[in-house]
């Protein structure tokens, strides 16, 4: 949990930039993520709030970061748990206030038990409170109570805050642009994910259960000090047509494709990869035709991933390629322009072509500015993930196409002169996938 000197400096720069954006007269309040009960007296594995982690590097619950721009006695203040040898013997070591200053580079730190005493005094004289109102109802009530205590002293000259402002308006835009250090962590998450997907492809065989492939993926994550960034999706056969398939329990059959959507989280940063491959090691004619079409759609979207182009351009390029191919294969009828305008492709392609990626797998950041698709800029990271899903019960298409679901997803960094695919090392084309799987067979 102790940050290196360079990490402490990076965290301090983030806090300083956020305070500068908030301006004089502001106060920013960010609570840590609460622990969550899984069942009775056991908890889910703890995962820190992404904003809190981004600004503190602290992975403990029961903590609150308060930023007070211009405060002479220290602008960055952390409230956290005190050291407690008895509890630490059960749950592991704690930083304590002294450790928070030393390890995380805070200006000051206090026991979380003192927050009721201290925070109203920090709020007094501040005009604006930047906070994620509505995210944590219990903490909302606490914060309103502290502000009401300041208001109660107004006749004695106390000056309570007058405005609540959404913290995400400032912080989301900061997080959208990744620093060089963040990109290194994302590249590591991507590299681990590549190894995991290859392991799943090598383990694949007709008759294997989806959960066995999931276990292979997540074994590799943990081997490299990472964990799943989200619930791994492993869908064999027609299960691949369920976009957010969860069960991962079915037994595969000879001739099935399996769609694997899984990514590692490393030091808080997510990767997100999808590959679709044949359990037998060879695509059928129809499977390859659709896989080649999705592959071409991804290439078309990637060509739009460069500075100055609208984010939406990648989706539009993928839709045009997919629709044209569906018409050629006879899965759609009519003319290209009319089919796109009418949204006919949505019958087989129901989602967008990507999303921002970072500390959250569906990361923060606006996609549109003043109603228009925002322009790509260096430092943005997003996924490109076209797909096609032919429902098993769609009697409007020939039986040979039914039950085929395919998605290809990679993680893309916008650079000054174009883009870099962080997950480019993983086999993507049908030929590459077949070659990898053939090499794995005894």
Catalytic residues: 41, 244, 261, 272, 351, 355, 362, 385, 389, 407, 409
Phi-psi region of 270 (alpha: psi -120 to 50; beta: other; left: phi over 0): beta
Distance from CA of residue 143 to its chain's centroid? 28
Query: What is the spatial distance between Cα 30 and Cα 55, in angstroms, rounded to a whole number?
Result: 9
Per DSSP bridges, beta strands 128-131 and 163-166 are: parallel
């Amino acid at each position: 949990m102790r940050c290196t000197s360079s990490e402490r400096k990076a965290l301090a720069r983030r806090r300083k930039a956020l305070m500068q954006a908030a301006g004089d007269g502001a106060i920013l309040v960010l609570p840590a993520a609460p622990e969550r009960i899984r069942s009775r007296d056991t908890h889910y594995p703890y995962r820190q709030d992404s904003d809190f982690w981004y600004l503190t590097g602290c992975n403990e619950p029961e903590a609150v970061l308060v930023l007070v721009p211009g405060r002479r006695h220290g602008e960055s203040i952390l409230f956290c748990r005190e050291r407690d040898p008895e509890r630490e013997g059960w749950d592991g070591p704690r930083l304590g206030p002294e450790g928070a200053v030393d390890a995380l580079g805070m200006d000051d730190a206090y026991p979380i038990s003192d927050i009721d005493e201290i925070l109203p005094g920090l709020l007094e004289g501040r005009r604006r409170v930047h906070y994620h109102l509505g995210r944590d109802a219990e903490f909302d009530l606490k914060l309103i109570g502290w502000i009401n205590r300041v208001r109660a002293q107004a006749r004695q000259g106390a000056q309570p805050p007058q405005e609540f402002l959404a913290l995400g308006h400032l912080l989301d835009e900061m997080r959208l642009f990744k620093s060089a250090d963040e990109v290194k962590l994302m590249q590591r998450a991507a590299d681990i994910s590549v190894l995991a997907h290859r392991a799943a492809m090598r383990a694949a065989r007709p008759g294997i259960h989806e959960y066995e492939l999931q276990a292979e993926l997540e074994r590799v994550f943990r081997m490299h000090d990472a964990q799943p960034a989200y619930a791994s999706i492993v869908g064999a056969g027609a299960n691949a047509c369920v976009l957010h398939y969860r069960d991962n329990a079915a037994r595969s059959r000879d001739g099935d494709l399996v769609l694997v959507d899984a990514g590692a989280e490393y030091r808080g940063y997510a990767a997100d990869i999808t590959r679709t491959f044949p359990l037998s090691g060879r695509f059928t004619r129809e499977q390859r035709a659709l896989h080649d079409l999705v592959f071409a759609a991804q290439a078309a979207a990637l060509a739009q991933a460069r500075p100055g182009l609208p984010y939406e351009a990648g989706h539009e390029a993928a839709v045009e390629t997919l629709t044209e191919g569906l018409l050629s294969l006879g899965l759609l009828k009519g003319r290209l322009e009319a089919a796109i305008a009418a949204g006919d492709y949505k019958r087989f392609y129901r989602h967008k072509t990507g999303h921002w990626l970072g500390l959250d797998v569906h990361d923060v950041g606006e996609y549109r500015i003043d109603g228009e698709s925002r322009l790509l800029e260096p430092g943005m990271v997003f996924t490109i993930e076209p797909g096609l899903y032919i429902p098993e019960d769609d009697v409007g298409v020939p039986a040979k196409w039914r039950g085929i679901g395919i998605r290809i997803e990679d993680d893309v960094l916008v650079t000054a002169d174009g883009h870099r695919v962080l997950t480019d090392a993983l086999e993507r084309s049908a030929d590459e996938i077949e070659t990898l799987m053939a090499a794995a067979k005894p």
